[in-house]
Amino acid sequence: MSVQGKYALITGSSRGLGRGIALKLAEKGVKVAINYHQNEAAANDTLMGVRERGSDGLIIEADVSRPEDIRRMVEKVQAAFGRLDIFVSNALGELFTYYRCPLDLTPEQWDKAVDSQAKAFLVGVQEAARLIGKGGRIVAITYRPGGITASWQPYIAQGSAKAALESMVRYFAVALAGRGITVNAITPGITEDSILNSLPKSVQDGIRAWHLAGWTPMGRLGTPADTGNAVALLCSEEAGWITGQVIAVDGGASLMNPDFPLEIQRG
């Protein structure tokens, strides 16, 4: 299941899930382009982690909500690596700039969500695909519950953008299949060291208690390394027949039925 000697570009990889993905691919011998927007120190820290794992890479500043930044980023990858084997679209927009309920959301806030998620994936794949050859891998990081449920009302912009992203995964999977490139999405469950940490402490505590009490059957929250493991699997040669899929990496949380109390579900 070797990906030794491959080259990857991971957006939003200075922290959180993106960092976990970058470090896991580095362990496997992948050279990594680490994208960040504001926190250069965190990006350099991730690059240090990549090097500690025996690989190498570079950091690239880019705002993925701006198509011209994406094009510039891919050009830098081409100049540094000469080619690209893996593109992971992970960067998350500034959620709290468009964290509004449906009746309060402005068109400008809607655009921020779509530009940083759906449009970023559209342009990112179009640009990255110029460098990716047969056997290449494209992976999007999404959050499926936000696109198919509606109880988390202020998540409407982000959830809708993620739903659009998942749809594009299927379209691009068909478009690139003839070139031997797979396109998939991973939907992580609630994960430590991610957007969870930006929520108020009382909310974090409530979420952790809920999942540890049984909503996640495996009895813990996810970690960035869990997501990194799943990306590494999809990037392997053995995963070459998997494309156009949205794969839950959530310890079984998506298998639970919200119609019944936990004590009934768990017997």
Q: Which residues contact 203 (CB under 8 A, 6 or more apart)?
A: none
Read off the pLDDT of residues 245-264 as tens digits, 9 standing for 90 and up: 999 999 999 999 888 888 88
Judged against a pLDDT cut of 80, whether residue 199 lies above it is answered with no
**What is the pLDDT averaged over residues 150-175?**
95
Prediction pTM value: 0.95
Token couple for 153: 């009302």
Token couple for 182: 């797979």
Token couple for 233: 């699997």
Would you state the pLDDT for residue 260? 84
CATH number listed for the domain at residues 7-198+223-253 = 3.40.50.720
| Contact yes or no for 218/266 (Cβ under 8 A) | no
Taking the alpha carbons at both ends of the chain, their separation in whole angstroms is: 38
DSSP sequence for 119-147 = IHHHHHHHHHTTTEEEEEEEEEE--HHHH
Q: What is the domain partition of the chain in residue ranges? A: 7-198+223-253
Q: Which residues contact 52 (CB under 8 A, 6 or more apart)?
A: none
Judged against a pLDDT cut of 90, whether residue 152 lies above it is answered with no
Read off the pLDDT of residues 138-149 as tens digits, 9 standing for 90 and up: 999 999 888 888
- 10 Å CB burial of residue 99 (0-12, 13-18, 19+) is middle
The residue among 172, 171, 168, 150 whose CA lies nearest residue 159 is 150
Q: Which residues contact 38 (CB under 8 A, 6 or more apart)?
A: none
Residues with catalytic roles? 155, 162
**What is the pLDDT averaged over residues 100-116?**
96
Instruction: Using DSSP bridges, classify how beta strands 132-141 and 31-36 pair: parallel, antiparallel or unpaired.
Output: unpaired
Read off the pLDDT of residues 10-52 as tens digits, 9 standing for 90 and up: 999 999 999 999 999 999 999 999 999 999 999 999 999 999 9
